[in-house]
Structure 1
Amino acid sequence: MRLLKPALLATMLALPLAVPAAFAETPPDVLVVAQNIDDIVAIDPAQAYEFTSGELVTNTYDRLVQYDAEDTTVLAPGLATSWEIDAEAKTIVFTLRDGVTFHSGNPMRAEDVVFSFSRVVQLNLTPAFILTQLGWTPENVAEMVTADGNTVTVRYEGDYSPAFVMNVLAARPASVVDMETVMANEVDGDMGNAWLNANTAGTGPFSLSVFRAAELIRLEANPDYFNGGPAIDGVIIRHVAESATQQLLLESGDVDIARNLTPDQIASLGGEGLVVETFPQAAVHFLSFNQAVDSLTPPAVWEAARYLVDYEGMTNSFLAGQMEIHQAFWPEGFPGALTDNPFSYDPERAAQILAEAGVELPITVSLDVINAAPFTDMAQSLQASFAEADINFDILPGTGSQVITRYRERSHEAMLLYWGPDFMDPHSNAKAFAYNSNNAQDAYAATTTWRNSWAVPDEMNAMTTAALTEADPAAREEMYLELQRQVQASSPIVIMFQASYQVAMAPNVSGYVNGATSDFVFYRLVDKN
């Protein structure tokens, strides 16, 4: 594998970032990406919570178990090669991979894993809740995670399925950091936080060589990566805020990938042989009805609504490239997702359902929507299609914060919004769409069910709880599939679409992986033929 010559690297780093570069060809072994990266607040895995920082962490660190570029739907061995689960004792013993080294050259040890997990809990920054839900606290984490030779024992509290725990341990804050390097850079008891927000200390397929916030990220390939060294020597991510500039850079050959083009720009790409790939994303978009509004409580209204959405009309026009039809609460591309889409636009059938149920018409209902594209366009489409069955929407546009505040207060009537999981486990969305054991006004819950005042049936609540604790992976997955079917068939929440993401790239680029979340953006398999 050829290394980037120092002179060429210096030239690349010196290039202006907001205008096309002087050359019209990128280096043959370096992937150059145009992307808006000004969302980064932190890159320390114990703190990183933004989209771009998630991508950076994924490409520079590893976890005991992880979803990998080769198949983002499979939870695969990472820094651990095997594990033994004792569900009754709520214990998982991991055997670590031999011969793994950090980018510093230090060997990766069980003590590094213990330190990494404890550090997240001790610092208690934004993503710490993902690990602390296992019952870990600053006071007990030393007993909950322990090292013995080449093994790490993880203990947890709560009635959780081991599969749930494994997914928690595959999440971003469970990334393993180099204890010696991090603590050598500790300042005022920050456990290396300031240093790790400008550097990386991982074992991943790439190491961070340059990080200039809202300007540039430079990754160098780790040829000794345990899962196979990257096919390219490095990645340069240039901060290009304007999508029009990204398009110009791609068409002129100054970048290999443009990450933030609009659908109109995608449609107008003029570069020879440019390729556009579409990747499903985690957010599901839905229409919901507040059950505190009497006219919206009949199940026939919920059923009819599923036939009053012009799914194809929207995805074939103004939503093209932005969303795909998806009618279940767990996103496609995640293990356990239901991909059946049984509903289509059929206003005659909807009218028949309402008539047979004796629903009093017309129904007039306010529809809260974020005052931005494509949400206002979606609302207008729903307004037109639902009017075919005498359900009339009064559209109430507002800022994102205004709309979400009304949703949290349960002061809306109908709501057009979206939802995404916090981590890779179906319970993350099942608790939002299929569980509400206390519908009281003062029992606030950050779920779509509670916010829509829907008292979920006891049987569904029980299945959601049982799925969380089910130890058999196959049985657990089937339970989540059944929960998705039930919510899909009968609930006041009409799930319509899953967000999609389009990436434009040069014709010689292959192997780029952009999974459903920012944690699933991988450069390891990229090749430039």
Structure 2
Amino acid sequence: MNLFRAALLAAAITLPLGHVAALAATPADVLVVAQNIDDIVAIDPAQAYEFTSGELVTNVYDRLVQYDAEDTTVLAPGLATEWAVDDAAKTITFTIRDGATFHSGNPVRAEDVVYSFQRVIKLNLTPAFILTQLGWTPENIDSMVTADGNTVTVKYDGDFSSAFVLNVLAARPASVVDAVTVMANEVDGDFGNAWLNANSAGSGPFSIRAYRPAEIITLEANPNYFKGAPAMKSVIIRHVAEAATQQLLLETGDVDMAKNLTPDQIGSISGDALKVETFPQAAVHFLSFNQKDEQLQPQALWEASRYLVDYDGMTQSFLKGQMETHQAFWPKGFPGSLDETPFTYDLEKAKQILADAGIQTPITVTLDVINSTPFTDIAQSLQATFAEAGVNFEILPGTGAQVITKYRERTHQAMLLYWGPDFMDPHSNAKAFAYNSDNSDANYQATTTWRNAWAVPDELNKETMAALAEADPAKRSEMYIDLQKKVQESSPIIIMFQAAYEVAMAKNVEGYVNGATSDFVYYRLVTK
């Protein structure tokens, strides 16, 4: 057994010699994590767009304003201590924090912010679209973001509020890099992109000490972080692709945390030394009806469907730990979410709704679904409960690419899919679930409303755009709550669940924060 374990450890978590002995009993000031990190394509915040790279960027870089570990639902000061909004002039002026420094020791300056935003726009890599929403282009960015002493003035161009702008500036590509260090490592006009995909130049609670793709990430604590040094002097994230190996390493005490265990493995975790924590995730899962099909147009069908989903039956069995009931388009854990769940499985009520509307049953509907668990399991549950009311689903499994392509072409009847926001602003999902001002086939939109050919009522379209433009944060939040209620009550899109993420860890690990997206994973408050 000892020989087997030694071989397994050597294969799964080969470390520099300085760490080999430590893994037998991880040090009190080192957090060791087993995680599949082979999704990383880039770690430069101007390019990083994968889940794991999002975690990395959040722990290494700061933004002017940010959602932080203490409360991931509150937009807090980051490298800016205060800001002044001029909605009429469409500008926000930020005051840069005194005394903040990059890991290099260089001070954080207004010029670093300007440079950071310029390089995102001029590089124009995958996440740049989040910032270009503000009307920024390579041609105008030099005039849209300017520095004056210790202040940065951001201009934007569009019919949206400053609250929306602030949420955009809290997103991953708005991370601030050390301009002096990055420019010193620029090659052939690449704005230091190649160098930043192997190194870091941030001001966050951790710096990157080592990064070897699909092998290891070692984060080193920043003792001068403006919110205080992390308790962990380092975080070692080991690439361990096999869930079984992750579980063994956790159970033998060689890692403190395992982040990719299967539901069955999570269910088997026991003993006094280990625990499992569950974190809501941003993706909402829904059933939708294509309005190009006449038999799927009656609103009574939409209403009855909300009572034909066995929410509790699924979340207490095969979805346990993976999803929780959530019935609104903005995820729980985000500011402005509607967390009420008014619908439960009620067969008799559903039958009565259909009968009162004069809908003749049975009807047969094809249901497209990704051919993997838990999607096929959800589809089979829906097939069973809907059949009791005379709505017969013919399940059509396909690859993710096949299903999504069909969805984009609007050639499905019913669709089982999920949706997640690109950044933490409710407009990101409101546009997808409550807006469609042009339902024509030629007007392709990356929204679930258009893809289901739902010509959204003009009232909802107007309210969606009014919420986007609303300057008062409290009133804006109320408008999004109202939009969620209206979509929840009457829409051909039946939102059922929100994904959840389970992390197994040693019982002595405290303070780990895993928000609704990978951008909200924080190690700064972890203690052991």
Per-residue CA deviations over 1:63-83 (Å, capped at 9, x if unaligned) read 000000000000000000000
**Which residue in the other structure is 2:356 paired with?**
356
Moved more, 221-230 or 335-344: 221-230
Per-residue CA deviations over 1:380-425 (Å, capped at 9, x if unaligned) read 0000000110000000000000000000000000000000000000
Q: How much has 1:272 moved relative to structure 2?
A: 3.5
What residue identity is the alignment partner of 2:107?
Answer: P
Counterparts of 1:265-284 in structure 2 under 5 Å? 265-284=265-284
**Which residue in the other structure is 1:500 paired with?**
500
Per-residue CA deviations over 1:502-527 (Å, capped at 9, x if unaligned) read 00000110000000000000000000
SS of the equivalent of 2:498 reads strand
TM-score (norm. length: structure 1)? 0.96
Provide the rounded CA distance (Å) in 1 between the counterparts of 2:309 and 2:270.
Answer: 34
Q: How much has 1:19 moved relative to structure 2?
A: 5.8
- Alignment length (residue pairs): 514
SS of the equivalent of 1:85 reads strand
Q: How much has 1:16 moved relative to structure 2?
A: 3.1
**Which residue in the other structure is 2:226 paired with?**
226
Q: Identical aligned pairs, as a percentage?
A: 76
Provide the rounded CA distance (Å) in 2 between the counterparts of 1:16 and 1:168.
Answer: 43
SS of the equivalent of 2:207 reads strand
The question of whether the paired residues in 2 share the 8 Å contact of 1:19 and 1:245 is answered with no
Provide the rounded CA distance (Å) in 2 between the counterparts of 1:17 and 1:520.
Answer: 31
**Which residue in the other structure is 2:86 paired with?**
86
Counterparts of 1:369-448 in structure 2 under 5 Å? 369-448=369-448
Provide the rounded CA distance (Å) in 1 between the counterparts of 2:388 and 2:103.
Answer: 62
Query: Mind listing any 5+ residue stretches in structure 2 that lack a counterpart?
Result: 1-8, 15-19
**Which residue in the other structure is 1:259 paired with?**
259
SS of the equivalent of 1:83 reads strand
TM-score (norm. length: structure 2)? 0.96
The question of whether the paired residues in 2 share the 8 Å contact of 1:250 and 1:271 is answered with no
**Which residue in the other structure is 2:177 paired with?**
177
What residue identity is the alignment partner of 2:12?
Answer: A
What residue identity is the alignment partner of 2:506?
Answer: A
RMSD after superposition: 1.0
SS of the equivalent of 1:255 reads coil
Provide the rounded CA distance (Å) in 2 between the counterparts of 1:443 and 1:145.
Answer: 33
Query: Mind listing any 5+ residue stretches in structure 1 that lack a counterpart?
Result: 1-14
Per-residue CA deviations over 1:196-216 (Å, capped at 9, x if unaligned) read 000000000000000000000
Per-residue CA deviations over 1:65-105 (Å, capped at 9, x if unaligned) read 00000000000000000000000100000001001110001
Question: CA 1:25–1:421 in 2, change beyond 3 Å: closer, same or farther?
Answer: same
Provide the rounded CA distance (Å) in 2 between the counterparts of 1:157 and 1:145.
Answer: 12
The question of whether the paired residues in 2 share the 8 Å contact of 1:252 and 1:271 is answered with no
SS of the equivalent of 1:445 reads coil
Per-residue CA deviations over 1:427-476 (Å, capped at 9, x if unaligned) read 00000000000000111100000000000000000000000000000110
**Which residue in the other structure is 1:479 paired with?**
479
Counterparts of 1:506-521 in structure 2 under 5 Å? 506-521=506-521
Provide the rounded CA distance (Å) in 2 between the counterparts of 1:17 and 1:75.
Answer: 42
What residue identity is the alignment partner of 1:185?
Answer: N
**Which residue in the other structure is 1:119 paired with?**
119
Provide the rounded CA distance (Å) in 1 between the counterparts of 2:11 and 2:157.
Answer: 49
The question of whether the paired residues in 2 share the 8 Å contact of 1:256 and 1:506 is answered with yes
SS of the equivalent of 1:320 reads coil
**Which residue in the other structure is 2:335 paired with?**
335
Per-residue CA deviations over 1:114-143 (Å, capped at 9, x if unaligned) read 000001000000000000110001111010
Counterparts of 1:140-289 in structure 2 under 5 Å? 140-289=140-289
Provide the rounded CA distance (Å) in 2 between the counterparts of 1:270 and 1:217.
Answer: 28
Q: How much has 1:17 moved relative to structure 2?
A: 5.2
SS of the equivalent of 1:527 reads coil
Question: CA 1:243–1:271 in 2, change beyond 3 Å: closer, same or farther?
Answer: farther
- Indicate yes or no: 2:51 matched with 1:57: no
SS of the equivalent of 2:24 reads coil
**Which residue in the other structure is 1:459 paired with?**
459
**Which residue in the other structure is 1:450 paired with?**
450
The question of whether the paired residues in 1 share the 8 Å contact of 2:269 and 2:275 is answered with no
SS of the equivalent of 2:67 reads strand
